[in-house]
Structures are given as C-alpha cells and as structure tokens.
Amino acid sequence: MKKVVSILFVLLIFLGISVFSQVEITMWFHSGRGEEREVIEDQVKRFNAMQNEVKVIAIQLPEGSYNDQVNAAALAGDLPDVLDLDGPFVSNYAWAGYLRPLDEFMSSELKQDFLPSIIAQGTYNGKIYALGTFDSGLALWGNKALLGKANVRIPKNVEDAWTFTEFMDVLRRLKELPEVTYPLDLKANDRGEWYTYGLSPFFQGFGADLIDRETYMSAEGILNGPEAVAAASWLQALFEQGFVNSNPPGYNVEFLNGEIPLEWAGHWEYPQGKGALGDDLVLIPAPKFFKHVSGMGSWAWAITTNSKNPEASWKFLEFLLKPEEIVKMSNANGAVPSRYSAIELSELYKVGGPLNIYVQQLNTIALPRPVTPGYPTITLAFQDMIGNLIRGADVQEILDRAVRVIDQDIESNQGYPIY
C-alpha cells in the first residue's frame, strides 16, 4: 500500500498537480467605475488561472458605504485578507490596527520604483501599509480655442506654470469674452471628498493647511490663521464676483459644451474632454500661488491584520503591482501609473505623453492630504466649511468652527496615540 501511495505522489508531481491544499484568500474592493471593475475582475480571473497555490475570492462592495462596511467588519473581526481603501484613510485604518505593514515584502528596488506620492500616501508611523496601482492628477483642463481668443499664454510644464497674478489676469481676460459667463469651473456641485481633494490645495498655496503637520495635534492658527483667511476670502470672492458658478447645471456640462474655458479637475476628465473638445483640449499645470501645490491620492491595496495568509495575500498584490498590470488599469481608468517602470510603458503618461504633466506634478509639488488617524474628521469639517463658504458665510467664523471640530476630535481621542 505504501508503495502505491508513493507512486501516486510521484505521478501527481509529474503531471503538475499539487498535492497540497490551495490557499484561499478573500479580497474586498469598492465598486468604482465600470472600467476599473472589469480590469480587477479580469486580473483575479487570470491570477487564479495562472497558478494553483492561491485562489482569490473577490467581493465587490458599494463605494458609498465602503468605509462603514470595513469599519463594521473590523469591529466584528471579519475583515478580508486583502482590501482596497481610499488613500487618505490609510493612516486611520493603520492606527486602528486593521492593516499589516508591507515593508517585509518589499525590496528596496521595488520601493524606489514607486512614485513618491504613492509611498507618502501609504506610509504611517514610518511603515508602508498600502500601495496603489495608480495615483491621481489634479490640474487645469483648458479650451485652447477660448484661451487663444483671450490671448492667454498656455504653460507647457510645471516650471512654466501661471503665477497667482498671471492666473487672475487669465480669469479676467476670459471673463471679458462675450461667449463666456464663468471662466472657471471648480465643480461646486461635486460635494464630499472633492471639496477636500480639489480645493484644499488652494489653501496650501496660500501657506495655510488643514492641520499642523509637524505635530498633527491641532489646526489652530493653521486652518484659521491669516493665510487661511486669505485663501478662503479669495475663494469666496471667485464665486461672489462671477468667476465661478456656485450652482452649475451638472457635472462638467459647461466645460464640455465649450461654455467655460477652464476647469479645475482630475485625470478622469481626459476621455470625455478629448471626445468633446478634440485637439482644443489642453492640460495646464496647477498655478503657482505663494506656494506651488497640487493634490494627489487615490485607492490603494492593503493586507489586513485579520489575514491568516499574508504571504499568499502579498503574492496576489505583487501580481496587481506588476508594471504591465498597472498599465492595464491605467488605460482603463485614465489614472497615473504608480510605478516609474509602468509610466515608461504608458502612451498617456510617458515623457512626451499628453498627460505627463501629472507625473511632473506628482514628482514635485503634490501634497498628500494630512496623514493622520484624525483625517476622517478633518475632511468632514473642511467639507462643511467649504459648503458654507460658497453660500457666503462669514469666513473667520466658519474657519474657527472647523478648527474647533478638528481639535475636539483630537482631544477626544487623546491625540491618537500610537499603540
């Protein structure tokens, strides 16, 4: 009998059939855009087919309630092995003990191949907890025909960006065109995280911020100091003086119709903008205020502390993070590839590509939203402040209120001590 078993064992190996049980890992991901879902589903399917050591069970969750479901699962001890999460929330999840550091799996060569913005976003307390396959780009999309009518200079790269004075002169010239009512779209109707992601860089451009980044213990004097008051007053004036529509008819409608010459938006606008404006669509770097800043951040992958199979989980993440897989995702959702080796493979983002300005920005002026466990409260306070600002509220009062909310949260959590 023993001899028969040995022969069967050798035969299975010869036939390439594993005699060991396959490891199953569960993976959660937010529903996101259709193209993203299709790529992830295809990647899971191909990963499962290409090897027989790890099988990924993918579960898609609605984006709107994603964080709530993750937090509920964490409290119940039901987190999956792998999940994706929005970049600014990495530190909160890591602080809460939901995530496992990825450093032990990463070689120095792999780490150096990632954009600095990806490493900054995924790092908390000196350890890397999440890695994205893509990052976002935030800059100005322009209508070249209308800019030409206003005799406006179009910057070609980050170093060539409009200064604050030049930017305001551009807005005034564009507003004088008879076919233009509002020269700039800031997507005032896209509430929620957009307000923080899209509009906080203007505050940082004035020298303010959402919190003191040296200590992460208070927003006092940072979000309600003179620089923040100047930024908020300037932003409010754009709405009050008719440079920006506070109640646009729909998302991106006026820009795509050729009614607004400039929109402050992300990489995701490229496919629609190119389809609507053709060769008149032009990407313009973020203007250089008193400090040159642009936004960044996107969804990233992490391994949870609930995982009993972290090595198998990393094997799957390693597959997703391959340059060719990153490019597949970037081609689907238009986002910036997270690794330099993938950027070189991307027709959109390589040097000379139409969206390379985003790469330049991520290498030089991109600033992550505050990397602190208190970020969920910070962003809600900032969003509420922006909503009131657009409605014409007293600037100092709403800034002070946001600071009180942020500081009270920090105090209630004893300063978010590291455990």
What would the pLDDT profile of 310-324 be if each residue is shown by its tens digit? 999 999 999 999 999
- Using the predicted structure, report yes or no on whether residue 15 has a pLDDT greater than 80: no
Cβ-contact 309, 21 below 8 angstroms:
no
Residues 299-317 have a mean pLDDT of 97
Model pLDDT for residues 344-358, shown as the tens digit of each residue: 999 999 999 999 999
Q: What is the chain's mean pLDDT, rounded?
A: 93
What pairs with residue 288 in β-bridges? 163
Residue 10: pLDDT band (50, 70, 90) is: low
pLDDT of residue 34: 79
Q: Is the pLDDT of residue 19 over 70?
A: no
Task: Give 58-85 pLDDT, tens digit per residue.
Answer: 999 887 788 888 888 988 889 999 999 9
CATH placement of domain 24-134+295-361: 3.40.190.10
**DSSP 3-state of 322:** coil
Question: What pLDDT, on a 0 to 100 scale, did the predictor assign at position 3?
Answer: 54
In the chain, pLDDT over 90 holds for what percent of residues? 84
pLDDT at 126: 95
User: In the structure encoding, which two tokens stand for residue 37, read together?
Assistant: 């879902």
Choose the weakest-confidence range: 167-171, 247-251, 301-305, 386-390: 247-251
| DSSP-based three-state secondary structure for 230 | helix
Q: In 10 A of CB 2, how many CB atoms?
A: 6
Instruction: Indicate if the pLDDT at residue 11 is higher than 70.
Output: no
Q: Is 191 helix (H, G, I), strand (E, B) or coil?
A: coil
CATH fold for domain 137-294+369-411: D-Maltodextrin-Binding Protein; domain 2 (3.40.190)
Residue that is written with structure tokens 């440079």 in the block: 243
* More reliable by pLDDT, 72 or 240: 240
- Residues 6+ away with beta carbon under 8 Å from 139: 264, 283, 284, 285, 286, 294, 357, 358, 361
Instruction: Find residue 171's DSSP bridge partners.
Output: none
pLDDT of 333 over the 90 cut: no
- Band the pLDDT of 419: cuts 50, 70, 90: low
Query: Which two tokens mark 288?
Result: 């250089």
Q: What is the pLDDT of residue 32?
A: 73
Q: Which residue has the tokens 């990495």?
A: 90
Tokens of 277: 């404006």
Domain segments of the chain: what residues? Answer: 24-134+295-361, 137-294+369-411
In this prediction the pTM is: 0.89
Share of the chain above pLDDT 70, in %: 95
Token pair, residue 218, equals 């208070």
